[in-house]
Structure 1
Amino acid sequence: MSPWAVRSNGREAHRQRYAGYMRSPAWYRRRYQWAEEEAGLLPAGGSIVCLGCRKPWSLGRDDLHHVTYDRLGAEEHEDLWPLCRGCHTLIHDLLASTRTWRKLPRIQANNLALEFVRDEREGKLITKIPRGAAALRDFL
């Protein structure tokens, strides 16, 4: 079997495990627990907001983004980001757009993608998303 096939099989196994977890009662419990933890960290009267567009975040409507999959099923609070569906989709689109993005350490790639989403949501003109290694180095 080629190394590419092994890598592909490993990626597929991760995707299946992830998909199963996302549908599980354990994930819904963790989402609820995360929202309770986050609410406890906010000042009185504060509310959870999408990290991308800063609009109010809702447990029943919006997403929690995995910044890392290292602790899938036993996520730390900081492993999860509150994002509306639109911002979540934009981040994943960026992360999947080129091999250069995928080669970055996951946390670094997520932080960079979040910066782009915030700029886009704030109406800042983004003329070109850095897709090559040199463009990413220049941005960083």
Structure 2
Amino acid sequence: MSNRRRPARGNRYRSGYLTSIEWFRRRARWFREEAETYGVVRCAVCLGRGTSSTLELHHLDYRGVAEVPGGGWRAGEEHGDLLAVHPDHHRMLHQLLDSDKVLGKMRNRRDASMQAIAKLRRRIIRAVMAA
């Protein structure tokens, strides 16, 4: 098993699910639930505030996602299987998961993602302290 991202070309999840109405409905519901529960939505990396238009969602687990017969999708991710991140942090998170040999080989994507987020936070703190 690998936590590395598969190429976009021919990837049904990336070219199908992430452009589907089911995903956009699930995404909207996640942001609504997060705001109702916590009053604010924060980036998992920098903890900065954001909204559904300024944050993306990172999957910690794909078990709730399934392609259904007839070409549709089932968006059954648990709320805790998704984390909000700023677009640059999301890109950095995937780059780290793709390039770090230890994170890429971890058996559990959730643990690999959480360790990558911790590494990114440390990088941000070091950069702020150095400035």
Q: State the TM-score, normalized to the length of structure 2.
A: 0.76
Alignment deviations for residues 53-72 of structure 1 (CA, whole Å, 9 cap, x no partner)? 11112201220000111222
Relative to total residues, which structure has the larger helix share, 1 or 2?
1
Q: State the TM-score, normalized to the length of structure 1.
A: 0.71
Q: What's the C-alpha RMSD, in Å, of the aligned pairs?
A: 2.1
What percentage of aligned pairs have identical amino acids? 30
Structure 1 unaligned residues grouped into runs of 5+: 1-10, 126-140
Q: Does residue 115 of structure 2 align to residue 112 of structure 1?
A: yes
Relative to total residues, which structure has the larger strand share, 1 or 2?
2
Q: Is the 8 A contact 2:60 2:109 kept in 1?
A: yes
Q: Please name the residue that 2:54 is paired with.
A: 61
Structure 2 unaligned residues grouped into runs of 5+: 1-5, 66-74
Q: Does residue 18 of structure 2 align to residue 16 of structure 1?
A: no
- In structure 2, C-alpha distance between the alignment counterparts of 1:14 and 1:50, rounded to whole Å: 30
Q: Is the 8 A contact 2:45 2:89 kept in 1?
A: yes
Larger radius of gyration: 1
Matches within 5 A, 1:48-127: 48-72=41-65, 73-104=75-106, 105-123=108-126
Q: CA deviation at 1:14?
A: 8.1
Secondary structure at the aligned position of 1:82 is classed as strand
Alignment deviations for residues 27-46 of structure 1 (CA, whole Å, 9 cap, x no partner)? 1111110011111211xxx3
**Number of aligned pairs?**
112
